[in-house]
Structure 1
Amino acid sequence: MAASRTPATADPLRRVAVAYSAGRDSTALLHATASAAVGQGVEVLALHVHHGLSAHADDWLAHAQRQCARWAKQGLPVRLCVRRLTQQPLAGESVEAWARRERYRALREMALQEGASVVLLAHHQRDQAETLLLQALRGAGVAGLAGMPQVAERDGVRWERPWLQRPRSAIDAYVRQHRLRFVEDDSNEQPRFARNRLRLQVWPALTAAFPQAEGSLADAATWAAQATSALAELAAIDLAGVADARGLQLAAWQRLSVPRQVNVLRAWLQREGGALPSSTLLQRLLAELPGSGEARWDWPPGSLHRHRGRLVHEPSVASPTTLPETSLRITRPGRYPLPGWGGVLVASKVNEGGAHPAWMAQLDLSPRSGGEQFMAGIGRPMRSLKKQYQAADVPAWERDGPLVYSGGQLVFVPGLGIDARVQALPGQPQLGLRWQRG
């Protein structure tokens, strides 16, 4: 058994990395990869992460050092790289989740530091079958049931699982054939970990009743992965018709079938918040969004609002830790951070609708106090900020930030722009202002 496509996937520096724990599977993959690289001008990096969670971690590292030194002496182009983790899981944090996150972070850092853009992982068919079962037991959707991808590009590294379709028995046979030495992780016998309970208590009974379970479940993960890709393509098509920079258009969204409403809503929320929403939030939105009037839903990345027929995402902004600034001098285009106000005032050159730079030389910043009058355009009447906000359909959460004055004259209002009374004449140099939260 050989590592798949090792020479072809090596980066231009002719280095490929293998995540090497010194256990059975990673030992087999490292040996196969190094054997395939002989005479190809490819250096194989064995990336070993010392978690410090086990009393045997130092012994595993010593074994990895001896193994790689022995193979290098035999002519295999392998070199060991080690990263020791100095942090520990936080109180109450899942040890499994912490170890996985920190392992991948360390693997990525070592690979990029050594000039390798490809990292091979030793997951095999049974690992994939176990992942599907665990995800199903956790109530995962189609994306979760897809299990582990064979290839993934993430954070500048290409992660490949060349043996994902190989049965566990083939790896066992490879280890016996080459008489490979490996370490046994004693934590694999601890039933407090969900995957261990599955392996120790469920898997033997499952395969006794269904001998083909490993291959069948892995195939099911493949079908789920294909379905996930198809749903993502459908969501992209629907997003183009129901969403824009201002939010999700609810009338257009409601014209979709319910399954497509759920699919595109999930995609839109993930795009806005960077994470998949909970099924509870999805079901609540599905039931409540068709209503009328203003509404608000808490969402950890911020909050969601139904406003004038749209679903709008308001990102959360950290509370200012300093007092609001009271003055500002703008002399050129650029970004002017105002941490006391929780945002940035952005100045840019414009051809119309801006203020002459002379107005910007000395600015005063103030919160709304009531009674302020704003002129939305040349020759238009002055009206209160409340009425101007309503006329311009500016939602309440976009009305924060400082009012900007110069010599007592109102110059700029967040959400409304430059007051027409200070707008520059055609042909004059002028600056526009924009308030950006966060």
Structure 2
Amino acid sequence: MAVTELTPDHLKPLLAPLHERRFVVALSGGLDSVVLLELMQRLRSEGVIARLSALHVNHQLSPNALDWEQHCRALCERWQVPLETVPVTLDARGANLEEQAREARYEAMAQHCGANDCFLLAHHQQDQAETLLYRLVRGSGARGLGSIPRRRQLGAGELLRPLLDHSRSQLLDYGKSRDLRWVEDESNRSLRFDRNYLRHRVLPAFRQRWPDIDSRLARQAQRMAGDAELLDQLAALDLAASQVSSPDAWLSGYPMLSWQPLREQSPSRQRNLLRFWLRQLGVAVPGEALCEQLLALANSRVDANPCVQWQGWEINRYRGVLVVHKRFAPPGESGTFFLREGDLALVNNGQLRVRQASLQKHRLCTDLGPLRIGYRCDGFEPERIKLAGRRGSKSYKKLMQEQGVPPWLRDRWPLLICGTELVAVPSIGVLEGFSAPSEEEGFELVWQVPKWGGSD
């Protein structure tokens, strides 16, 4: 329940146990953050906290931006609080300027948040109410309607919001009683922005009918956060029953999900698991329409190998398992080279490990001269492949199927070529006629597949 008067004592239960950590106030210069900084410097003077600093993000959008930055600097000098300023550049003509600014702020904070740091934001009860309504209009689910969390991870440290239980009127009363000075962002009055529309047009009308609407919405957000926690717990159980690993070396480390345990469950439960799985991996969670495509992919025929792509990510289904990875850039030209022991970096395509070996039965001979890497996606695909020591020949597709190579890797599998002839398929075998004699050393070739996150 909200208290009637704001004092530093109200912050002590949350902050006192974290005494030894560095607290960093996200300081905009407005009422909310100025009140929070003043409260924190009073707690520092009482010895409740030991280290305090501030971070100001200059969005460089307003003609008054430099004045706001100077105001923050003057406050911090007055209270002897170290201040760091970070300029960010936004596209003022781009879509959703609100979201651009928010992402830039959080990115700046995450970059400056060390392992022992707590970043403090001055969000209050009215912010919570606005966020709940904003996300409700946007069609968010239970997790989104949980609105603003009191604490969460930020970069290597933590983000805290110690004023969430307090109303803006309490912050205003406190600021006036302490004779504080703050700046007013003129953009906060513009109805161009959705949150401002809710703040100036929608919520005032609600308050006339229900004076306690802010606290009501804040409580509802807490309930939704509890519901979202229960959904996450259910998803964690489903994930534990569904996670699998690949026996194939080229998919080692790729996140995989067996869909069989959930095939008979409701679409809501399936959807809940998919979103939870992707969040746990740090993958951008797709919107509702794409989520339905993912469900259709997961529940498709066992022998189908479809995929869904979004925001640089891709989920493939292969042999009844879902595999997620960053969308790979097309492999580039490697040029000609002479084979020698070591690791050969392939352009946008992992690396080729070359090792001298004498014990393996079929090794590539060492005196082939200049070689190059070819790819099926570039049009190189031999009609038939006859591997040394094996009966008969096979098509490229049949060979890859037998080796358990998923379709999305087949086009980018590196093929070692001498002149116009294929001499080896790394990690799979050497072609007939290109094996090293049994009494000589030869080369063992292993392709290290690009990492699932898209970097090598």
- What do residues 366-397 of structure 1 show as CA deviations (whole Å, max 9, x unaligned)? 3443234243x956554333322233343322
Q: TM-score, normalization: structure 2?
A: 0.80
What is the alpha-carbon distance in structure 1 between the residues aligned to residue 402 and residue 97 of structure 2? 54
Taking the TM superposition and a 5 Å limit, the aligned residue runs for 1:84-95 are 84-85=87-88, 87-89=89-91, 91-95=93-97
In structure 2, relative to structure 1, the CA distance for the partners of 1:167 and 1:319 (3 Å cut) is same
Unaligned runs of 5+ in 1: 73-77
| 1:34 corresponds to 2:41 | yes
User: 1:82–1:116: structure 2 CA closer, same or farther, 3 Å change rule?
Assistant: farther
Moved more, 23-32 or 349-358: 349-358
Partner of 1:386: 397
CA distance in 2, matches of 1:8, 1:102: 30
Structure 2 counterpart of 1:418: 429
Aligned pairs (5 A) from 1:9-408: 9-11=18-20, 15-40=22-47, 42-72=50-80, 78-85=81-88, 87-89=89-91, 91-110=93-112, 112=114, 117-246=117-246, 247-270=256-279, 274-287=283-296, 289-292=298-301, 293-294=303-304, 296-300=306-310, 301-313=312-324, 315-320=326-331, 322-332=332-342, 334=343, 336-339=344-347, 342-347=348-353, 359=366, 363-367=371-375, 368-375=380-387, 381-399=392-410, 400-404=412-416
1:226-247 deviation digits (Å, cap 9, x = unpaired)? 2222222222221232332454
Task: Describe the SS at the equivalent of 2:447.
Answer: strand
User: Which residue of structure 2 lines up, in the alignment, with residue 75 of structure 1?
Assistant: none
Q: Which amino acid aligns with 1:36?
A: L
* Structure 1 pair 356–90 and aligned structure 2 pair: CA distance change class (3 A): farther
- Does the aligned pair in 2 maintain the 1:353–1:424 contact within 8 Å? no
Cα displacement (A) at 1:365: 2.8
Task: State the alpha-carbon separation in 1 of the partners of residues 179 and 161 from structure 2.
Answer: 23
CA deviations over 1:165-223 (Å, ceiling 9, x no partner)? 22223222322321212111111111001111101001111112112211121122122
Equivalent position SS for 1:401: coil
TM-score between both structures, scaled by the size of structure 1: 0.83
CA distance in 2, matches of 1:202, 1:281: 31
Equivalent residue of 1:433, what SS? strand
> Which deviations, in whole Å up to 9, do the C-alpha atoms of 1:242-262 show, x marking residues without a partner?
332454333333122332212
In the alignment, the residues of structure 2 paired with residue 135 and residue 314 of structure 1 have an alpha-carbon distance, to the nearest angstrom, of 29
Preserved CA contact (<8 Å) 2:374 2:415: yes
Distance 1:33 1:62, change over 3 A: same
Q: Residue deviations 1:42-83, cap 9 Å, x none?
A: 2321222222211222222232233333334xxxxx233322
**CA distance in 1 between partners of 2:25 and 2:391 (Å):** 69
Indicate if the aligned counterparts of 1:270 and 1:277 stay in contact, CA closer than 8 A: no
Aligned-pair distance for 1:357? 8.2
Within the candidate set 425, 428, 433, 2:446 is matched to 433
Q: Give distance in 2, aligned partners of 1:303 and 1:67.
A: 48
* C-alpha distance in structure 2 between counterparts of 1:103 and 1:310, whole Å: 38
8 Å contact kept, 2:146–2:223: yes
SS of 1:404 mapped into structure 2: strand
Name the aligned partner's letter for residue 385 of structure 1: Y
CA gap 1:140/1:391 in 2 versus in 1, 3 angstroms = same
Q: CA RMSD in A?
A: 3.4
28-37 or 87-96, which moves further after superposition? 87-96
Give the length in aligned residue pairs: 421
Note the alpha carbon deviations across 1:322-367, whole angstroms, 9 max, x for none. 53434353413x4x2221xx30224277998686586499654334
Contact 2:297 2:307 in 1 (8 A): no
Residue 329 to residue 289, structure 1, CA distance change in 2 (3 Å) = same
Measure, in 2, the Cα distance between the counterparts of 1:329 and 1:387. 28
Q: Secondary structure at the match of 1:373?
A: coil
In 2: Cα distance, 1:210 partner to 1:364 partner: 74
Gaps of 5+ in 2: 1-6, 247-255
AA aligned to 2:306 is R
**Contact 1:125–1:215 (CA under 8 A) maintained in structure 2:** yes
Deviation track 1:245-294 (CA, whole Å, cap 9, x = no partner) reads 45433333312233221211223344567111111122234356434242
**Closer, same or farther: CA 46–120 of 1 in aligned 2, 3 Å:** same
SS at the partner of 1:228? helix
| Contact map agreement 1:29 1:122 (CA 8 A) in 2 | yes
Q: Secondary structure at the match of 1:179?
A: coil
Measure how far apart 1:35 and its partner are.
Answer: 0.3
Are 1:125 and 1:218, in contact at CA under 8 Å, matched by a contact in 2?
A: yes
Q: Is the 1:326–1:366 Cα contact (8 Å) retained in structure 2?
A: no
Q: Distance in 1 between matches of 2:147 and 2:30?
A: 22
The one-letter code matched in structure 2 to 1:92 is: G
Aligned residues of 1:123 and 1:163 also touching (Cα < 8 A): yes
Amino acid at match of 2:353: A
Does the residue aligned with 2:55 lie in a helix, a strand or coil? strand
Once the 2 structures are TM-superposed, how far is the Cα of residue 99 of structure 1 from its aligned partner?
1.5
Which of 155-164 and 322-331 deviates more? 322-331
* Range with greater deviation from structure 2 (196-205 or 258-267): 258-267
